[in-house]
Protein backbone atom coordinates (compact mmCIF):
# COMPACT_ATOMS: atom_id res chain seq x y z
CA UNK A 1 0.00 0.00 0.00
CA UNK A 2 1.36 3.39 -0.99
CA UNK A 3 1.76 6.14 1.60
CA UNK A 4 -0.65 9.02 1.19
CA UNK A 5 1.93 11.38 2.68
CA UNK A 6 5.30 11.63 1.04
CA UNK A 7 8.53 12.87 2.57
CA UNK A 8 9.97 15.97 0.98
CA UNK A 9 12.62 13.86 -0.76
CA UNK A 10 10.00 12.10 -2.90
CA UNK A 11 8.15 13.70 -5.82
CA UNK A 12 4.48 14.56 -5.43
CA UNK A 13 1.80 12.74 -7.40
CA UNK A 14 2.10 13.29 -11.15
CA UNK A 15 -0.52 15.47 -12.77
CA UNK A 16 -2.17 16.37 -9.46
CA UNK A 17 -2.25 19.66 -7.58
CA UNK A 18 0.97 20.94 -6.09
CA UNK A 19 1.79 19.14 -2.85
CA UNK A 20 1.39 21.08 0.38
CA UNK A 21 4.08 21.16 3.04
CA UNK A 22 2.95 20.03 6.51
CA UNK A 23 4.62 20.29 9.91
CA UNK A 24 4.38 16.99 11.78
CA UNK A 25 4.24 17.15 15.58
CA UNK A 26 3.26 14.91 18.48
CA UNK A 27 0.81 15.19 21.35
CA UNK A 28 0.43 12.31 23.81
CA UNK A 29 2.06 9.88 21.39
CA UNK A 30 -0.31 10.78 18.53
CA UNK A 31 0.88 12.37 15.30
CA UNK A 32 -0.70 15.60 14.02
CA UNK A 33 -0.04 17.93 11.09
CA UNK A 34 -0.50 21.63 10.37
CA UNK A 35 0.21 23.47 7.10
CA UNK A 36 3.73 24.93 7.12
CA UNK A 37 2.30 28.07 5.49
CA UNK A 38 0.60 28.86 8.81
CA UNK A 39 3.72 28.30 10.97
CA UNK A 40 5.64 31.45 11.92
CA UNK A 41 8.37 29.79 13.98
CA UNK A 42 9.14 26.98 16.41
CA UNK A 43 10.55 27.84 19.85
CA UNK A 44 11.89 26.07 22.89
CA UNK A 45 9.43 26.48 25.80
CA UNK A 46 9.25 30.01 27.22
CA UNK A 47 7.47 31.43 30.29
CA UNK A 48 3.70 31.79 30.08
CA UNK A 49 1.39 34.24 31.81
CA UNK A 50 -1.94 32.74 32.96
CA UNK A 51 -4.99 34.86 32.15
CA UNK A 52 -7.65 34.85 34.90
CA UNK A 53 -11.11 34.11 33.52
CA UNK A 54 -9.79 33.06 30.10
CA UNK A 55 -11.53 30.20 28.31
CA UNK A 56 -9.96 26.76 28.90
CA UNK A 57 -8.74 26.48 25.31
CA UNK A 58 -6.65 29.69 25.64
CA UNK A 59 -5.50 29.84 29.28
CA UNK A 60 -2.28 31.86 28.93
CA UNK A 61 -0.25 34.40 26.96
CA UNK A 62 3.36 34.31 25.79
CA UNK A 63 5.76 37.00 24.62
CA UNK A 64 7.11 36.10 21.17
CA UNK A 65 9.87 38.59 20.37
CA UNK A 66 7.86 41.49 21.78
CA UNK A 67 4.49 40.39 20.37
CA UNK A 68 1.94 39.01 22.85
CA UNK A 69 0.25 35.82 21.63
CA UNK A 70 -2.39 33.58 23.19
CA UNK A 71 -1.21 30.07 24.03
CA UNK A 72 -3.89 27.70 22.76
CA UNK A 73 -4.39 24.37 24.52
CA UNK A 74 -5.31 22.12 21.63
CA UNK A 75 -5.29 19.11 23.95
CA UNK A 76 -8.41 20.58 25.57
CA UNK A 77 -10.05 21.04 22.18
CA UNK A 78 -9.12 17.52 21.07
CA UNK A 79 -10.36 15.89 24.32
CA UNK A 80 -6.86 14.77 25.33
CA UNK A 81 -5.45 14.48 28.83
CA UNK A 82 -3.24 17.31 30.09
CA UNK A 83 0.40 16.28 30.32
CA UNK A 84 3.50 17.88 31.82
CA UNK A 85 6.00 19.33 29.34
CA UNK A 86 8.73 16.96 28.22
CA UNK A 87 12.36 17.70 27.33
CA UNK A 88 11.38 17.61 23.65
CA UNK A 89 8.43 20.04 24.03
CA UNK A 90 8.30 22.93 21.58
CA UNK A 91 6.08 25.96 21.07
CA UNK A 92 4.70 26.25 17.55
CA UNK A 93 3.91 29.88 16.76
CA UNK A 94 1.23 30.28 14.10
CA UNK A 95 -0.07 33.14 11.97
CA UNK A 96 -3.75 32.51 11.22
CA UNK A 97 -6.79 34.55 10.27
CA UNK A 98 -9.34 34.60 13.11
CA UNK A 99 -12.65 36.23 12.15
CA UNK A 100 -10.81 37.65 9.12
CA UNK A 101 -8.07 39.29 11.20
CA UNK A 102 -4.44 38.06 10.95
CA UNK A 103 -3.60 36.69 14.40
CA UNK A 104 -0.44 35.30 15.95
CA UNK A 105 -1.00 32.46 18.40
CA UNK A 106 0.92 29.48 19.75
CA UNK A 107 0.47 25.87 20.78
CA UNK A 108 2.64 23.50 22.79
CA UNK A 109 3.66 20.21 21.16
CA UNK A 110 5.34 17.29 22.91
CA UNK A 111 7.76 17.15 19.97
CA UNK A 112 8.15 18.51 16.46
CA UNK A 113 9.17 15.76 14.05
CA UNK A 114 9.59 16.95 10.49
CA UNK A 115 8.18 18.72 7.46
CA UNK A 116 6.59 16.53 4.80
CA UNK A 117 4.73 16.97 1.52
CA UNK A 118 1.07 16.01 1.42
CA UNK A 119 -1.46 15.30 -1.24
CA UNK A 120 -4.70 16.63 0.26
CA UNK A 121 -6.71 14.63 -2.27
CA UNK A 122 -5.35 11.44 -0.64
CA UNK A 123 -6.66 12.32 2.84
CA UNK A 124 -9.31 10.00 4.24
CA UNK A 125 -12.19 11.17 6.43
CA UNK A 126 -12.06 10.28 10.10
CA UNK A 127 -14.20 7.18 10.67
CA UNK A 128 -17.34 8.09 12.61
CA UNK A 129 -17.16 4.97 14.71
CA UNK A 130 -14.42 5.28 17.28
CA UNK A 131 -13.27 8.80 16.34
CA UNK A 132 -11.32 10.24 19.25
CA UNK A 133 -11.24 13.85 18.09
CA UNK A 134 -14.18 16.20 17.55
CA UNK A 135 -14.98 16.14 13.83
CA UNK A 136 -14.94 19.94 13.29
CA UNK A 137 -11.28 20.12 14.34
CA UNK A 138 -9.95 17.46 11.97
CA UNK A 139 -9.62 17.77 8.17
CA UNK A 140 -8.70 14.13 7.62
CA UNK A 141 -6.25 11.35 8.34
CA UNK A 142 -3.53 9.67 6.35
CA UNK A 143 -0.75 7.17 6.80
CA UNK A 144 2.91 8.08 6.69
CA UNK A 145 4.97 4.95 7.11
CA UNK A 146 3.55 3.21 10.17
CA UNK A 147 2.04 6.39 11.66
CA UNK A 148 -1.50 7.67 11.42
CA UNK A 149 -1.27 11.43 10.80
CA UNK A 150 -4.20 13.64 11.79
CA UNK A 151 -4.44 16.85 9.75
CA UNK A 152 -5.95 19.54 11.94
CA UNK A 153 -8.49 22.06 10.66
CA UNK A 154 -7.05 25.43 11.62
CA UNK A 155 -10.22 27.22 10.47
CA UNK A 156 -12.16 25.70 13.39
CA UNK A 157 -9.55 24.51 15.90
CA UNK A 158 -8.40 28.03 16.79
CA UNK A 159 -11.70 29.86 16.42
CA UNK A 160 -12.85 31.30 19.75
CA UNK A 161 -16.49 30.96 18.66
CA UNK A 162 -16.18 27.22 18.07
CA UNK A 163 -17.99 26.60 21.35
CA UNK A 164 -17.22 24.09 24.02
CA UNK A 165 -15.56 20.84 23.11
CA UNK A 166 -18.13 18.04 23.24
CA UNK A 167 -17.50 15.82 26.22
CA UNK A 168 -16.64 12.17 25.65
Q: What's the structural domain count of the chain?
A: 1
Portion of the chain with pLDDT greater than 70, in percent: 81
166 located within any domain: no
Task: Work out the percent of the chain whose per-residue pLDDT is above 90.
Answer: 44
User: CB 7: neighbour CB atoms within 10 A?
Assistant: 12
Domain CATH for 140 = 2.40.50.180
Q: Residue 136: inside a domain, yes or no?
A: yes
Q: Would you place residue 93 in the very low, low, confident or very high pLDDT band (cuts 50, 70, 90)?
A: very high
Q: Which of 69, 63, 59 is nearest to 95 (CA)?
A: 69
User: What pLDDT score does 164 carry?
Assistant: 47
Identify the CA nearest to 88 among candidates 107, 73, 109, 71. Answer: 109
Confidence of residue 47 (pLDDT cuts 50, 70, 90): very high
Q: What pLDDT is attached to residue 16? A: 53
Q: Is residue 71 part of a domain?
A: yes
- Position 145 confidence tier, pLDDT thresholds 50, 70, 90: confident
> Does residue 2 surpass a pLDDT of 50?
no
Q: Is residue 168 part of a domain?
A: no
167 lies in a domain?
no
Is residue 57 one of the residues assigned to a domain?
A: yes
Q: What is the pLDDT of residue 12?
A: 41
- pLDDT tens column, 69-82: 999 999 988 989 88
Which pTM does this prediction carry? 0.81
Q: Does residue 84 fall inside a structural domain?
A: yes
Domain that holds residue 73: 5-10+19-161
Residue 9 pLDDT > 60, yes or no? no
Sequence-ordered list of residues with C-beta below 8 angstroms from that of 14, at least 6 positions apart, any chain: none
Residues 96/158, Cβ–Cβ less than 8 Å:
yes
Amino acid sequence: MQNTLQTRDKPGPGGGPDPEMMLIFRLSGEVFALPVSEVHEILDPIPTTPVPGAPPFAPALINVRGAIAPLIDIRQRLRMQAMPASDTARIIVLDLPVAGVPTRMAIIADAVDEVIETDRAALKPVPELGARWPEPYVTGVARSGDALVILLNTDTLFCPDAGQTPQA
